[in-house]
Structure 1
């Protein structure tokens, strides 16, 4: 069984101001990690800042903070502040994000994502160590930046990676890698590109979990998620690389033609069942452990909607958390 057991926060349906009870329930259930994301809901850092104050027993991580949407200095300052609030318990996960999040929603040009990720990783390594950074990186310049409050314990930096180039960069220069949207059987394919002898190198994965015995509901939710994400160019190329090109081509064709209904219908049950964990809490735990057996060291569940989770009943939601714990 994994030594670490993570949950993505904040939980939908419960205000951030009421998450102290969520953190307490997760701790009681045996969870060790709280991980955030950053798309169009909460930012990646505020939920973890609350957790740092309210639940100091947890390890914290961002999965991910985009490398385009904050300037390098601001990203370093934000990470340093959280590392200061949770010394030795915070891991900074960064990644390229997507053209929609970066360009359409944040008005930043999404160009050279590999190079930008590499340059931000190198900048953060120096800045979070308290060094003066005065350098022309390939994708941006930084002139005489030094943190006024460098963290006493610099956070480990993890890099989100999908395909060989970014996976190899993570192995060479980061303290860990963050995987996403893959099955347990896919983990080995990804890790074959991650050749490193770093003793504390972490392999984190966000794992989408729909805790319900209603397979029809879970597959309906899963299809919507898959269509939304796997039509993004980077994820489409990732799944071609993993060998799903033929089975997902009908979805991609329907999506590109504007027929969203046909795109959803073209996603086979087998693909949904590969990429979305669903079933009873016992079944979900066993499926998450399958990721661990394949090489994931930091499993981070992300809950998908179910009637219980969407009920607005905080007690029912906390019961689900307890059932998914160890």
Structure 2
């Protein structure tokens, strides 16, 4: 069974909030099942998704992801309840630890025991969403008597977790309603899906009940070489420039030499060399090229057993016209 097709709204190359909201409406009209918004160093996800909820009617909405260091879990619960109300039941909360480059350098917080903090954040957030008083005694969070003053959302929005390493994915299987995957090859995904199932089984849960969403860099253009160039640049940036997590994740998938070459070249300022080094893995990590080629690669990921949704994401260097061309080319039913 093929996974549904979703879409990650771009955070780069967007001149205004209006342009992002317009993309959300276009995604709904094109038949995408859900739109996701990451939160990095631009517009915040919560305000943007609230506006998207006001300008759409049926498409699902979600964060993929907000980190568990810059907001307390009580606030995450309040936020999820509010967005569930604003969207009339269309919201999913995606959370994760992010990495030290973001948490320490940009938020000024110590990146300490990220997996434990993620687990506690999920547990507290879910408790808040229940509408019952929250009494929680954890390593990071101690709450006594917190309770929503508004009606608890019914149904409560699901809480998903992002993760890349075996233990992080196992955690998602044990405690979250879904797992968000990023920068995986098909074989790498299958390995981590085994970790997800193990986590669900440890919690005596049905692994099939844990929704799996893959965020896949996509670029479908009439100029196929331009599309593949954008994909190469995007992948090199993540593996080389976003700390060590993406490098290590690629190494775990059997590509340690390539991961090291990309990372070292990027850190040395040799961006062209880093981009060239990742070229042999473009088809393993993205769906890029002509519209037909990109659709074929998207289908290859969508048919992996255990994947419930593939979210089309855009290369960070794509301009507005290229984003729209890709959105239209990869729309469900095309």
**TM-score normalised by length of structure 2:** 0.87
* 1:280 and 2:281 are equivalent in the alignment: no
Relative to structure 1, the CA distance from residue 69 to residue 260 in structure 2 (aligned partners, 3 Å threshold; closer, same or farther) is: farther
| Corresponding residue for residue 238 of structure 1 | 249
What aligned pairs does 1:56-71 form with structure 2 within 5 A after superposition? 56-71=57-72
Cα distance in structure 2, aligned partners of 1:251 and 1:319 = 29
Aligned-partner SS, 1:34 = strand
Quickly say closer, same or farther: Cα 1:280–1:254, change in 2 above 3 A: closer
Q: Per-residue deviation at 1:158?
A: 0.8
- The separation in 2 between residues aligned to 1:201 and 1:72, in whole angstroms, is 21
1:29–1:324 contact (8 Å) kept in structure 2: no
The CA RMSD over aligned residues, in Å, is 2.4
Alignment correspondent of 1:86: 87
Alpha-carbon offset, residue 128 of structure 1:
1.0
- Aligned counterpart, 1:209: 218
Q: Which of 219, 223, 233 is matched with 1:224 structurally? A: 233
* Aligned position for 1:36: 37
Distance 2:323 2:253 in 1: 35
Superposed, 1:142-221 pairs within 5 Å as 142-149=143-150, 150-195=152-197, 196=200, 197-221=206-230
1:244 match: secondary structure: helix
The 8 Å contact of residues 118 and 169 in structure 1, kept in 2 or not, is answered as: yes
Question: Structure 1's 270 and 3: CA in aligned 2 closer, same or farther, altered over 3 A?
Answer: closer
Larger deviation, residues 202-211 vs 146-155: 146-155
Question: Shift of residue 157 of structure 1?
Answer: 0.8
Question: Matches of 1:22 and 1:168 in 2, distance apart?
Answer: 34
Q: Tell me the number of residue pairs that the alignment of Structure 1 and Structure 2 aligns.
A: 320
Q: Tell me if structure 2 keeps the 8 A contact 1:207–1:302.
A: yes
Q: Work out which of the residue numbers 276, 296, 301 in structure 2 matches 1:291.
A: 301
Contact between 1:178 and 1:204, CA under 8 Å: does it hold in 2? yes
3-state SS of 2:49 partner? helix
Alignment-derived partner of residue 330 in structure 2:
324
| Alignment check: 8 A CA contact 1:186 1:242 kept | yes
Contact between 1:87 and 1:153, CA under 8 Å: does it hold in 2? no
Matched residue SS, 2:245: helix
Question: Whole-Å Cα distance in 1 between the matches of residues 24 and 247 of structure 2?
Answer: 35
* Native 8 Å contact 2:225 2:289 kept in 1: no
Given the two structures, how large is their TM-score scaled by the length of structure 1? 0.89
Contact 1:209 1:276 in 2 (8 A): yes
Mapped to 2, the partners of 1:261 and 1:23 lie a distance apart of 32
For the structure 1 residues 303 and 10, does the alpha-carbon distance in structure 2 shift closer, same or farther, using more than 3 Å as the test? closer
Contact 2:221 2:326 (8 Å CA) reproduced? no
8 Å contact from structure 2 (residues 236, 275) kept in 1:
no
Between 1:88-97 and 1:46-55, the stretch displaced more is: 46-55
Quote the Cα distance in structure 1 between the aligned partners of 2:21 and 2:272: 42
Mapped contact 1:84–1:152 kept (Cα < 8 A): no
Is 1:267 aligned with 2:242?
no
Could you tell me whether the CA contact under 8 Å between 1:134 and 1:143 is conserved in 2?
yes
Q: What is the rounded CA distance, in whole Å, between the counterparts of 2:310 and 2:232 in structure 1?
A: 22
3-state SS of 2:196 partner: coil
Structure 1 alignment gaps of length 5 or more: none
> Secondary structure of 2:40's match?
coil
